[in-house]
Amino acid sequence: MILLQRIAFIALSILFFMTTSVLAQPGSEVSHKDNSQLSQDLSGFKWKMKMMLPGEGVKAGLHQLPPEDIETLVWNSAQVPGDVYTDLWKIGAIEDPYFGRNSVKAQWVMHYEWWYALQFNVTQDLKDQLVRIDFDGIDYACDIWLNGNYLGSHEGAFSRFSFDVNKYIRSSKKNLASTNMLMIRLAPPPQVNAKVAGRKTPWFGDYWRDLIPFGIYRPIKMVYTGKTRIKDVYLRPKIEDNNNAKVTLEVEVENTDSQPKQMTFTSTIQGKNFESEVIKTEFTETIAPGKQTIKKDIFIKNAQLWWPWDLGKPNLYINKLSLVENKINHDYKETTFGIREVKMEWNPGFTRDEVSFPRTTLINGKKIYIRSACWGGPPDIFTGRTSDEKYRKLIQLAKEANMNNIRIFGWHPSELPIFYELCSEAGITVWNDIIPLGTGNLARDEEFIATTIAEGVAVIRERRNNPSLIMMEGGEEMMLRSADPAFTRMFLERLGKALQAEVDLPYVPDSPMTDEPSQEAGFKPKEAIHALAYFYGMGHLPMEDWYKKIDFPIVPEFAITSVPNIESLKKFIPANEIWPPGPSWGHHWADLDRLRAQNFDAFGSEKTGSLQEFVDATQDSQGIIFQLGIEHFRRNKPKNSGVALCHFITYWPDMKWGIVDNYQQTKRSYEFVKTAYQPLLVNLDFAKRRWHNDEIFQGQIWIVNDFYKEYSNCVANFTIENDKGKTIEKGSFEVSKVGENSSQKFFDIKTDNLKKVKSNFYVKLELKDQNGVVISTNKYQFLIGDHDQAAKEFKEMGAEIRKRNGIYKYSNYNQFYDKLTRENGEEYESETDTVIARGFKNKK
C-alpha cells in the first residue's frame, strides 16, 4: 500500500509540474513579443497541515522532515490560498463557524500553531538562473523552511515577501532527487490588535465575534529569472496638452552579480480593452550591483484616458517589459495601468475655519460626485471560502446599484489584486484606507511606527498601477479612540507622506475627524461625518428630522441595519432559533430593539407579526432611510461631494449593515439604493413622512444630474396614490433644461386629497426626455399620522433601548434568554423583560 501511495504521489508531482506556468526560459534568446516569466505555481489542494502546541513543532523536528519522505501523506488536507478555519471545517475538525454559535466552539484553533507542508518536484536545469519563492500574503506570522533549511520569518499580513532558494532547491531528472519539501509554520495569531495595528485586519467591531482569522491567504509561486531581475514596475501617468500623456516608466531592478551589467529594457504599450497602436520603447542602462530604480519617460499621443463609468470609458493599457543582456533574456513583467489624474478642490460653502482638506474629487479635471458604499469585506473573513466568482458578482452588483465608488475603510484590509482589476475594468473608483488601523492607541516606539508605515508602503506599491484607486485615507476612527490625539495625528500625517512619496493621489489622515479628540488634535469641526447617530442613538429623532441636520462636505459612513432574506437566514441560523429569534440572532449581531424601532419609524408598526413581515420591514426601512438620506446629500451638491453607505457587504453572515448579504443575495434595500444612486435622479424633498388627513401635502421636485450631459425639453410627471393604488392627484411639468453636473429644485407639488387615504399614500415621479423616453423614476411612501406624536413614541422606544443596554450592554445577547437554566434544572427569570419576551414571544 505504501509503495502504491508513493507511486501515486510521484505521478501527481510530475503532473503538478507539467501543469504549472512553464514559459519563456530565462538565460535564453527569446523575442520580446514571445517573452513571458517562468514560474511554478505552488498553490492548490496538494498542501497538508498539522496542529502543534506553540513552540513544539520545531522541538519535534517537523521542519527537518526529509523531502523524499511520505510522512505528510497522513497529515490533514489543506488548500493554499486559504485559511486555517476553512481547512479544519472541510476535514470535519470544527463545525461551520458561520453557522449558529459555532464560532465560539472554534476559539481553541487560534491558540495553536499550524504547520503547512507541500512536496513538489523540480526537473529543469537551473544553470544561470535565480530561483526564488514569492509569498504574496500570509496572515500573520510565519517561519519557513525548504528541505530542512531555514529561509526566514515574516510578520505582517499584507506585505509580500520572498526568499532566494538556489542553495536549497533540489533539481533533477530523477524523481526522488527532484523532490522538495516546503514547510511553513503559522504562529498562533496575535491577541491584541493595538500591537499589530496596520499589519493585520482588526478582528473586532460590532459585526464579528472573537475568532481571530489567520492562514496562507494569497498564492505562493516559485519564480525563475536571470541574474538581473525586475522587482517592481510603476507607470506614473501625467496628462499633457492636446490629449497627449507622459507615462514615466519606473522600474526597480536588482543586479545580483558582483559586476555592473549592460541591460536592455524593451517596453511595449498598447490598449488592453480597446484597439490602439503599439508604442515600443527600447533603451540600455548600466545596472550596478544591488537594487536601483530606472526611469524612462514614454509619450503617448491622443491618449485614451481612464474614466469612471458615469463620466466616460474605463480605458486600460497594458505594458510589457523585458530585461535582456546581449540578447539573453533575464526577466519579463506585464502590467495593466490606466491614464488618469486625480486632484481635489475645496467644497463651496465651508470656510477654512471649518475644514482642513478639500473633499471634491476631480478625475481628469472633471468633478465627480462620490456615490459609494463601504466594502465591508473581504467577501469572507475566512478567505478560504471566497472566490474570484464572488468578487466578480459583487463588483457587478455595485455597478448595477449605480455606485461609482467603493470605500475600503480601516476595519478591513486593502483588497486582493482581483478586486482592483475588476473595479478598473468596470470603471468603479476606490477610496482606500491603505492599511487597517482600527485603533488609535499605537505603540510609541520607533520600530513599531517604522514597521507599520513600511507595511503601508508595501501595500500601495502593489496597488498603485490600478487607475480605480483614486483616494487614500490613513485611519478609521483612530482619533475617536485616541488617548493621545497629538501623537495619533503625527503618525497619520507621517504615514501620508510615506504613501504620497510612492503615488500621486490625495490623502486624508483619518475619518471622521469631527469628534472631540480630533478637535483637540487641531482638525476642524466640519471635516467629515460618520452618519451613525440615527442607529446608535435610536429614538432620538425620526429619520427625516435627523438626516436634514447633516451638513458636511462628505459623508464617509451612513449606516443602518437589516436582516438578510429568509433563504439566507436558514443557512446560518438553526431551525429552532429562526422564529421567534433565538440566541444565534444575537450572536450574529441582530439588535432586535433597534430593528423594531426603525420599523416603527418607517411604517408606524414594529412589524413583528411573522418572520417574513419582520425581515421585509427591516430591509425596507433600511432602504427608505438610505434613500432619503442619499437624496438629501445629493441635493446639497456641490457643497456636499459624496456619501458612502455603511455597508455594501459584510464579511460573514450577520444581521447588520450590508445591502447584499454574505451569500451574495441582495436585500430589498438594495433597490432603494439603486434608485437613489441614479446618476440622473428625479427626487422629492418634503418636510415630514406623516401627515394628517386634513393637511395639504406639499413637496418639491428636484433633479440631480451627475452626468456631464445636458437634458433639454424634458417632462416631469408626478402621481399621488392612496393605499388602494387609486390616483388622488397627478401633474406634469415641462423642464426646459437640466444642466450637466447639477442639482436644482424645479417645481412644487401639493394635494388636499389626503382625506381619501386610510393609512399610507405614495408619490411616484417620472422624468422623460425630449423623445418621450423615461430616463429616471422614483417612489416614496408616506403615512397618515401625527409626526410629533410618533416622534414622542419613537423617543420612548429609544429610552427603553438605552435602559436595556444599561443592563446588558450593547452587543450582549444574554438578553435573548427570557429564562436561564441552572445546572440542577431549575429555572429563574432574567433581570428584566427581554427582547424576545417583549417583542417576539409567542409570535408564530
> Which one has a higher pLDDT value, 217 or 836?
217
| Residue 605 phi, psi (nearest 5) | -150, 150
Tens digit of each residue's pLDDT (9 = 90 or more) over 806-831: 888 888 777 776 554 444 555 544 44
Predicted confidence at residue 205, as pLDDT, reads 83
Tens digit of each residue's pLDDT (9 = 90 or more) over 741-779: 999 999 999 999 999 999 999 999 999 999 999 999 999
Instruction: Give the three cell numbers for residue 144.
Output: 519557513
Kind plus residue range of the DSSP H or E element containing 795: helix 787-808
Kind plus residue range of the DSSP H or E element containing 616: helix 611-635
Instruction: Give the three cell numbers for residue 305.
Output: 484616458
Instruction: Give the three cell numbers for residue 232.
Output: 517592481
- Do 581 and 840 meet the contact criterion of CB atoms below 8 Å apart? yes
Q: Residue 88, SS3? A: helix
b/e map 122-151, b = 16+ CB within 10 Å: bebebeebbbbbbbbbbbbbbbbbbbeeeb
Report how far residue 363's alpha carbon sits from residue 443's, in angstroms, rounded to the nearest whole number.
Answer: 37
Predicted confidence at residue 203, as pLDDT, reads 87
Instruction: Give the three cell numbers for residue 332.
Output: 519579463
Report how far residue 22's alpha carbon sits from residue 826's, in angstroms, rounded to the nearest whole number.
Answer: 69
Residue with cell 416631469: 716
CA 528, 529, 531: angle at the middle one, nearest 5? 155
Classify burial at 833, counting beta carbons within 10 Å of its beta carbon; exposed 0-12, middle 13-18, buried 19 or more.
middle
Fold: same for 228-337 and 682-787: yes
**CA-closest candidate to residue 712, choices 684, 682, 740:** 740
Question: How many helices (H) does the chain have, and how many strands (E)?
Answer: 18, 40
CA 178, 184, 188: angle at the middle one, nearest 5? 170
- pLDDT at residue 360 greater than cutoff 70: yes
CATH class for the region spanning 350-681: alpha beta
pTM for the whole thing? Answer: 0.94
Predicted confidence at residue 824, as pLDDT, reads 52
Annotated domain spans of the chain: 2-224, 228-337, 350-681, 682-787
Secondary structure letter of residue 434 according to DSSP = S
Residue with cell 399621488: 720
Tens digit of each residue's pLDDT (9 = 90 or more) over 697-723: 999 999 999 999 999 999 999 999 999
Predicted confidence at residue 42, as pLDDT, reads 97
**CA-closest candidate to residue 233, choices 340, 337, 131:** 337
Predicted confidence at residue 6, as pLDDT, reads 45
- pLDDT at residue 11 greater than cutoff 90: no
- pLDDT at residue 607 greater than cutoff 60: yes
| Residue 84 phi, psi (nearest 5) | -65, -45
Amino acid type, 178:
S
The least confident of 422-426, 659-663, 815-819 is 815-819
Report how far residue 794's alpha carbon sits from residue 541's, in angstroms, rounded to the nearest whole number.
Answer: 8
Q: Residue 593, SS3? A: helix
- Tell me the Ramachandran region of residue 600: left when phi exceeds 0, alpha when psi lies from -120 to 50, beta otherwise: alpha
Residue with cell 514547510: 183
Beta bridge partners of 342: 363
Q: Residue 35, SS3? A: coil
Report how far residue 588's alpha carbon sits from residue 601's, in angstroms, rounded to the nearest whole number.
Answer: 24
Cα 168 to Cα 44, 180, 185, 198, 472: the distances in Å are: 22, 9, 18, 33, 41
The least confident of 46-60, 169-183, 459-473, 559-573 is 169-183
Report how far residue 236's alpha carbon sits from residue 297's, in angstroms, rounded to the nearest whole number.
Answer: 9
- pLDDT at residue 492 greater than cutoff 80: yes
What integer best gives the mean pLDDT of the chain? 92
CATH topology for 682-787? Immunoglobulin-like (2.60.40)
Question: If pLDDT is split at 50, 70 and 90, which confidence band does 287 have?
Answer: very high
Predicted confidence at residue 26, as pLDDT, reads 75
Report how far residue 470's alpha carbon sits from residue 338's, in angstroms, rounded to the nearest whole number.
Answer: 12
Predicted confidence at residue 498, as pLDDT, reads 98
Instruction: Give the three cell numbers for residue 30.
Output: 527569446
Predicted confidence at residue 29, as pLDDT, reads 67
Report how far residue 725's alpha carbon sits from residue 721's, in angstroms, rounded to the nearest whole number.
Answer: 5
- pLDDT at residue 832 greater than cutoff 70: no
pLDDT (mean) for 214-236: 97
pLDDT over 90 percentage in the chain? 86
Instruction: Give the three cell numbers for residue 533.
Output: 447617530
- Tell me the Ramachandran region of residue 531: left when phi exceeds 0, alpha when psi lies from -120 to 50, beta otherwise: beta
Classify burial at 121, counting beta carbons within 10 Å of its beta carbon; exposed 0-12, middle 13-18, buried 19 or more.
buried
**Architecture of the structural domain at 2-224:** Sandwich (2.60)
Tens digit of each residue's pLDDT (9 = 90 or more) over 536-587: 999 999 999 999 999 999 999 999 999 999 999 999 999 999 999 989 999 9
DSSP letters for 677-731: T-SEEEEEE-S-SEE-TTS-EEEEEEEEE-SS--EEEEEEEEEEEETTS-EEEEE
* CA 188 distance to own-chain centroid: 25
Report how far residue 158's alpha carbon sits from residue 591's, in angstroms, rounded to the nearest whole number.
Answer: 33
Question: If pLDDT is split at 50, 70 and 90, which confidence band does 33 have?
Answer: confident
Cis, bond preceding 708 (omega within 30 deg of 0)? no
| Paired sense of beta strands 469-473 and 507-508, if any | parallel
Q: Which residues, including other chains, have CB under 8 Å from residue 368's CB and lie 6 or more apart?
A: 308, 310, 311, 361, 362, 404, 429, 706
b/e map 601-624, b = 16+ CB within 10 Å: bbbbebbbeebeebbbbbbbbbbb
Predicted confidence at residue 439, as pLDDT, reads 81
CA 671, 672, 673: angle at the middle one, nearest 5? 90
- Do 793 and 744 meet the contact criterion of CB atoms below 8 Å apart? no
Beta bridge partners of 38: 224
Question: If pLDDT is split at 50, 70 and 90, which confidence band does 804 have?
Answer: confident
Amino acid type, 569:
L
Secondary structure letter of residue 314 according to DSSP = B
Cα 424 to Cα 90, 100, 468, 681: the distances in Å are: 34, 37, 5, 25
Amino acid type, 409:
F
Report how far residue 706's alpha carbon sits from residue 367's, in angstroms, rounded to the nearest whole number.
Answer: 9
Report how far residue 613's alpha carbon sits from residue 701's, in angstroms, rounded to the nearest whole number.
Answer: 32
> Which one has a higher pLDDT value, 468 or 834?
468
Question: If pLDDT is split at 50, 70 and 90, which confidence band does 204 have?
Answer: confident
- pLDDT at residue 375 greater than cutoff 80: yes
Instruction: Give the three cell numbers for residue 188.
Output: 498562533
**Architecture of the structural domain at 228-337:** Sandwich (2.60)
Largest CA distance in the chain: 93
**CA-closest candidate to residue 834, choices 594, 612, 593:** 593
